[in-house]
Structure formats: structure tokens, C-alpha cells
Homo-oligomer: A and B are copies of this chain.
Amino acid sequence: MSTPTSSRAERMRLQLREEIVQTAAEVFAERGYHRTGIADIAQRLGVGNSSIYAHFAGKRALFDVVIDDAMSGVMSLLTAENAPAAADTFEDYQEQVRRIASGFTVALRDDPAVLRLLRALLVEAGGVDEELAGKASAFTDAATQVTAAYLGHGRSRGYLRADLDVEATARVVNAMIFSVALEETRREATPEETQRIVDATLALYFGGVAA
């Protein structure tokens, strides 16, 4: 259905755009926003500096796209294949959360850049732009909504504490998840270490520390 004249060129163009985003994601994740230069990205991709400007208005705009991708990637992980309403017992819920956690773990093992990008967003946000800071807040809020939906469902079903402050707890839980994930990517933990952390997180989540 696309016009024949632009079809091949257009495909090439979109492919390059995608490659730029991929490469930019890598470099931003490795070095952070400020230490990454446009030249670094172009060089790694093997294109000229200004080819990037043919697709993006500038460094900041490119970072925006990269961050949006990372955000939606993480959102997919949070929401994937498990509806909040799916669990009806605490056991089901535990199983559901474990599946999500496992999905996270696997996804981040395969593509740790997503997490580092999130770190770049959440951490450097204030050091780049007011606008970016706003985007970070929005993302946190959205994630809170998702988690709160799960918690609200569980509370109403009765398998979570009746006095649970759903919104506040959602916020805490997400903070915990992101922190742990960031920590683990930062210190380049082994899979075993990561598993211990994940287990400890889930144990804390489900039962607290009390004997």
C-alpha cells in the first residue's frame, strides 16, 4: 500500500533510523548521557556524524527516543502476559509475581542495556533537562499505577492485607524493584548473586522480615 517510488529508499531509511537508535541505546547505557558524544554513536555505527542529524533533531531528541523505547520495554515486562485480575489466591499471586520477576531477570540478562538506560533516565534525568525529569516522574507514576492495580486486586480478593496502602506500597515496591535491578546491572552481578537478590526481594515482599 506504500507508494512504489519511496518504498525501497524508505525502508533503508527506516532501517538506518532503527540502527541509530539501537547503537545510541548501547552507548548511552554504557557511558551515560553526558559522556556520550554524537561522534561516539556515529563512529560505532560506522556512519558519518551528520547522518544522525538526518534522522533526529539532535542529541537530546535522540536520547528521548531511546528513553521512550526503554520505558515501553520495561512497561511491557511489567504488564506482559499477566493481567492484574488473573490471580485469585495468594498462591496464584505468588506464582504470577514469580513469573514476572523471572521474565524481568531473563530479559535483563539478554538486554541489560534497557536497565542501564532506565538508570540513565531515572538518575541523570535532573542533570539533563526539566522536561526529562518530568518524563521520569511520569514513568514512575505509570509504573505505580500498574503495580497498584495488582495490589488493589489482591486486597479486594482478600489475599493481600486489608490495611495495605495500595498506592504507597506500589510506589515502594517499584522503587525496590528498580533499585535492585539497577544495582545488579551496575555491579555486574553473577546470575547466582542476582538470583539470591531476587529471592530475597520476593521473600521480603511476600512475608516481610518477621519470624
Q: A1 in the interface, Cβ–Cβ < 8 Å?
A: no
* Contacts of A176-191 to chain B: CB distance below 8 A: 176, 178-180, 182-183, 186-187
Chain B residue nearest to A195 (CB atoms) is: B168
Q: A197 in the interface, Cβ–Cβ < 8 Å?
A: yes
Known contacts A176-B175, A186-B137; decide if A161 and B31 are in contact (CB<8 Å).
Answer: no
Q: Is A183's CB under 8 angstroms from B204's CB?
A: no
How many angstroms between the C-alpha atoms of A136 and B165 in the bound complex? 32
Minimum distance in angstroms from A177 CB to a CB of chain B = 9
Minimum distance in angstroms from A125 CB to a CB of chain B = 8
Set of chain B residues within 8 Å of A200, measured between Cβ atoms? 165, 168-169, 171-172
Set of chain B residues within 8 Å of A171, measured between Cβ atoms? 180, 183, 197, 200
Q: Is A126's CB under 8 angstroms from B31's CB?
A: yes
Q: Chain A: interface residue count, which band? A: 35 or more
| Contact indicator per residue, chain A 122-140, by CB within 8 Å of chain B (1) or not (0) | 1110111000010011001
**How many copies of this chain does one complex carry?**
4
Q: A90 in the interface, Cβ–Cβ < 8 Å?
A: yes
Tell me which of A13-21, A61-69, A78-86, A152-160 binds B: A152-160
Set of chain B residues within 8 Å of A126, measured between Cβ atoms? 30-32, 116, 119, 186
Q: Is B90's CB under 8 angstroms from A210's CB?
A: yes
User: A residues near B, CB below 8 A?
Assistant: 30-35, 90, 116, 119-120, 122-124, 126-128, 133, 136-137, 140, 151, 154, 158-165, 167-169, 171-173, 175-176, 178-180, 182-183, 186-187, 196-197, 199-201, 203-211
